[in-house]
């Protein structure tokens, strides 16, 4: 069972890995500041459940489900050792871990395929569930509406989580969100709740309740996890201080760190050790991925377009 | 037959309409494979648009015949997701005019899922729709050529009841996304013999609708009967037209078309959709670019809809291709070849 120390470790891994990936590839989407939403949202899924995480560096979710770190790094470097033969966007995960694929750069379509995973589980009379997260920008795609409505009508076992970081590339949320995301749930007749996205335990508790509900066959829930994008949309995108004016930033890692110390669950040296271990693991993964083979005509796969 | 009566494999004559043949194929596969289910609008007790799912709800019930909100993107997207996780859904998009509402799922997801997961994922989904002019006059636009452009999608468009059944069986059993297009003008057209049981027709194989030595006429869907009518008239004038019904646009049967054209040295292509960017252009370019060269004795002719959005009412007949236009195109190639 995942405890608060595990949540902490995963957030540190996400931060360390994400920071490194941003230096390796300026097109990588920084996760910094949003780690608690990824980690808390997917902490309580079973391995046989389906996970459809938001595209903003979801690697920690893949790692929590058993992916190999160095192979994920290889994806960002365009190496053949990545999970998808270098063919897809780098944030696509390993499908064999029941991760809903990212196969295009369009947004909102994975809300559809994730809803379909839940449909499969219902048709199969299984108690598996799907958890699907997406950004607040994506929440304005028609697929958001169509699929949540469909899932509500069919009472599908799915949890929708909005990783609400307040930005859509260069636009602030006040230019595209006239009302809170969670309020939309009422229109579909499903529960909607808002959680503090900087508090991994709050995210986890909110989503876990929704997962239980889905598993009991009571249908979907919409969770709005309020977080903040600390960096640009991609690593090379600079956000000015003026753009951040008036925003109170709380670091999700600091929030949990304080609690671990307070509760006596960890000591300062132990916390330092978590950071050091993450740094070592990421460094080793980068080294291994760097020496892996580049993609070739084998991966181009002219005969692999159809199953 | 009441709308919710079980689908019976019709005894004796085995003469079915195109629509009845499609429904029979779906029913056979739903009986054989519990992973198959149907998503669509009005497919419950109502029996589907144009009776396109008549009897299925009565036999299989609401758990396998899922009535959906008017949300084509969610219907296709959720079918793809269900297929990723072990189901074999059939999505009924009532009319081809509604396909653009699901375009992201059809173009950005469906064709990519297998390839972009390094071959790990499979999406056995059939997207079934109806296009073109039809008995009720609605939804006439034919956008099917768009879908043959994208690697990773299969596109079939049967023109006879037997082909409709055989290709639907293949489509459901295929591990890839298949767009199954029913020409609306043929849905309730004349009945024809349909084999009972598993008359599977492979996707990607054309059929020889009529043999002839003078001109190769490539058609699909609703233009097949127009082409046969034209060929019969021309036969009275001593012109032998070979009519090839492609049946599948992706993949398509290049071998049959090229082999025929090598013999006749004349090629006419006719389809209900527009000429510009229509799939006929691909057929023409493939034949023209084949090595060793097909020694054509006349320019390739194409017949299709007038370059206007397909109008409603009595104006429509002026926009759509006719048997007379096909005959004129054939005669043109004959004259060009003799001058």
Contact assessment for residue B321 and residue B305, using Cβ atoms and an 8 Å cutoff: yes
Instruction: Read off the pLDDT of each residue in B65-77 and give the average, rounded to a whole number.
Output: 98
B112-131 burial string, b = 16+ CB within 10 Å, else e?
bbbbbbbbbbbbbbbbbbbb
Q: Are the beta carbons of B80 and A112 separated by less than 8 Å?
A: yes
The domain defined by B207-338 folds into: Rossmann fold (3.40.50)
- In the 8-state DSSP scheme, what is residue A79? B
Provide the mean pLDDT of chain B: 95
B119 vs A: CB within 8 A: yes
Q: Which pLDDT belongs to residue B2?
A: 40
Q: pLDDT at position A240, please?
A: 80
Segment A36-56 shows an average pLDDT of 98
pLDDT, tens digit, for every residue of A117-176? 999 999 999 999 999 999 999 999 999 999 999 999 999 999 999 999 999 999 999 999
Q: Is the pLDDT of residue B5 over 80?
A: no
Cβ separation of A123 and B115 shorter than 8 Å? no
Looking at the predicted structure, is the pLDDT value of residue A1 above 70? no
Gap between the Cα atoms of A54 and A285, Å rounded: 23
Q: Do A301 and B81 touch (CB under 8 A)?
A: no
Q: Do domains B15-193 and B207-338 have the same CATH topology?
A: yes
Write out chain B residues lying below 8 Å of A50, CB-based: 85
Question: What is the value of pTM for the model shown?
Answer: 0.96
Residue A52 has pLDDT above 60, yes or no: yes
Residue B255 in this model has a pLDDT that exceeds 70: yes
Domain spans, chain B: 15-193, 207-338
Position A246 pLDDT exceeds 80 = no
The pLDDT of residue B310 is 95
What's the mean pLDDT in A36-55? 98
CB-nearest to A109 from B83, B108, B152 is: B108
Helix (H) / strand (E) element for A143: namely helix A142-154
B128 vs chain A: nearest CA distance in angstroms? 18
CB-based contact B84 A117, cutoff 8 Å: yes
- Can you give the pLDDT at residue B7? 59
Q: Do A119 and B116 touch (CB under 8 A)?
A: no
pLDDT at A239: 83
Q: Do B116 and A84 touch (CB under 8 A)?
A: yes
A94 pLDDT tier (thresholds 50, 70, 90): very high
Write down the pLDDT at residue B3.
43
DSSP state of B249: E
| B152:A115 CB<8 A | no
pLDDT tens digit sequence for B156-182 = 999 999 999 999 999 999 999 999 999
Domains contained in chain A, CATH given = 4-289 (3.40.50.970)
Chain A residues closer than 8 Å to B71 by CB: 146-147, 149-150
Q: What's the gap in Å between the CA of B113 and the closest CA on chain A? A: 6
CATH number among 3.40.50.300, 3.20.20.140, 3.40.50.970, 3.40.50.1580, domain B15-193 = 3.40.50.970
Nearest residue of B to residue A50, measured between CA atoms? B85
B150 inside 8 A of chain A by CB: no
- Sort out which chain B residues have CB atoms less than 8 A from A147's CB and list them: 71, 73-74, 77-78
Please write the tens of the pLDDT for every residue from B10-54: 554 589 999 999 999 999 999 999 999 999 999 999 999 999 999
B314-327 tens-digit pLDDT: 999 999 999 999 99
Distance between CA atoms of residues B14 and B75, nearest Å: 33
pLDDT digit string, tens, across residues B190-214: 999 999 989 999 999 999 999 999 9
Known catalytic residues of B are 139
pLDDT tens readout for residues B136-152: 888 999 999 999 999 99
> What's the token pair of residue A253?
């890692």
Angle in degrees, CA A194, A197, A201, rounded to 5:
95
Contact of B173 with chain A, judged by CB distance below 8 Å, is answered with no
pLDDT for residue B10: 52
Residue A113 is nearest to which of B37, B81, B175, comparing CB atoms? B81
């Amino acid at each position: 069972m995942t405890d608060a120390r595990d949540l902490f470790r995963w957030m540190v891994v996400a931060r360390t890995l994400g920071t490194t990936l941003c230096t390796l590839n300026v097109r990588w989407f920084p996760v910094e500041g949003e780690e608690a939403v990824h980690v808390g949202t997917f902490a309580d899924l079973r391995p046989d459940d389906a996970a459809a995480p938001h595209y903003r560096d979801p690697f920690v979710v893949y790692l929590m489900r058993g992916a190999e770190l160095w192979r994920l790094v290889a994806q960002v470097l365009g190496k053949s050792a990545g999970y998808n033969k270098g063919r897809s966007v780098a944030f696509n995960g390993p499908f064999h871990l029941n991760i809903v694929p990212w196969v295009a750069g369009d947004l909102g379509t994975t809300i559809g395929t994730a809803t379909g995973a839940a449909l499969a589980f219902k048709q199969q009379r299984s108690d598996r569930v799907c958890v699907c997260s997406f950004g607040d920008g994506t929440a304005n795609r028609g697929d958001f509406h169509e699929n949540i409505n469909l899932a509500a009508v069919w009472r599908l076992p799915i949890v929708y989580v909005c990783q609400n970081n307040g930005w859509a590339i260069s636009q602030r949320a006040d230019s595209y969100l006239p009302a809170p995301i969670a309020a939309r749930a009422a229109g579909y007749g499903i529960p909607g709740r808002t959680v503090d996205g900087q508090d991994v335990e709050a995210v986890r508790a909110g989503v876990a309740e929704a997962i239980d509900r889905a598993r009991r066959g009571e249908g979907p829930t919409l969770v709005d996890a309020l977080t903040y994008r600390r960096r640009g949309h991609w690593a090379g995108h600079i956000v000015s201080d003026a753009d951040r004016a008036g925003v109170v930033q709380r670091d999700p890692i600091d929030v949990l760190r304080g609690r671990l110390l307070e509760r006596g669950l960890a000591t300062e040296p132990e916390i330092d050790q978590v950071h050091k271990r993450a740094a070592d693991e990421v460094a080793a993964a980068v080294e291994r991925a760097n020496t892996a083979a580049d993609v070739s005509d084998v991966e181009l796969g002219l005969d692999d377009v159809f199953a | 037959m009441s709308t919710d009566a079980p689908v019976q494999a019709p005894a004796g004559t085995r003469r079915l309409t195109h629509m009845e043949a499609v429904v029979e194929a779906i029913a056979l596969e739903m009986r054989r494979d519990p992973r198959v289910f149907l998503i669509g609008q009005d497919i419950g007790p109502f029996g589907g648009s144009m009776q396109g799912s008549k009897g299925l709800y009565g036999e299989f019930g609401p758990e396998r015949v899922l009535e959906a909100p008017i949300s084509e993107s969610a219907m296709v997207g959720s079918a793809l997701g269900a297929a990723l996780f072990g189901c074999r859904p059939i999505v009924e998009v009532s009319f081809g005019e509604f396909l653009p509402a699901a375009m992201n799922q059809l173009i950005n997801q469906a064709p990519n899922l297998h390839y972009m997961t390094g071959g790990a994922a499979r999406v056995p989904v059939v997207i079934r729709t109806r296009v073109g002019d039809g008995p009720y006059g609605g939804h006439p636009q034919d956008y099917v050529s768009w879908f043959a452009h994208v690697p990773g999608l299969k596109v079939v468009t049967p023109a006879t009841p037997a082909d409709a059944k055989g290709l639907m069986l293949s489509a459901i059993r295929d591990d890839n996304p298949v767009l199954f297009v029913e020409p609306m003008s043929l849905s309730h057209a004349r009945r024809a013999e349909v084999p009972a049981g598993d008359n599977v027709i492979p996707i990607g194989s054309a059929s020889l609708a009529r043999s002839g030595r003078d001109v190769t006429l490539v058609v699909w869907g609703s233009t097949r009967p127009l082409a046969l009518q034209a060929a019969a008239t021309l036969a009275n004038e001593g012109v032998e037209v070979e009519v090839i019904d492609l049946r599948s646009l992706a993949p398509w049967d290049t071998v049959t078309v090229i082999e025929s054209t090598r013999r006749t040295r004349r090629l006419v292509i006719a389809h209900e959709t527009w000429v510009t960017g229509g799939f006929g252009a691909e057929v023409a370019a493939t034949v023209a670019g084949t090595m060793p060269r097909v020694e054509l004795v006349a320019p390739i002719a194409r017949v299709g809809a007038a370059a206007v959005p397909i109008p409603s009412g009595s104006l429509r007949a002026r926009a759509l291709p006719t048997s007379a236009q096909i005959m004129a195109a054939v005669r043109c190639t004959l004259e060009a070849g003799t001058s």
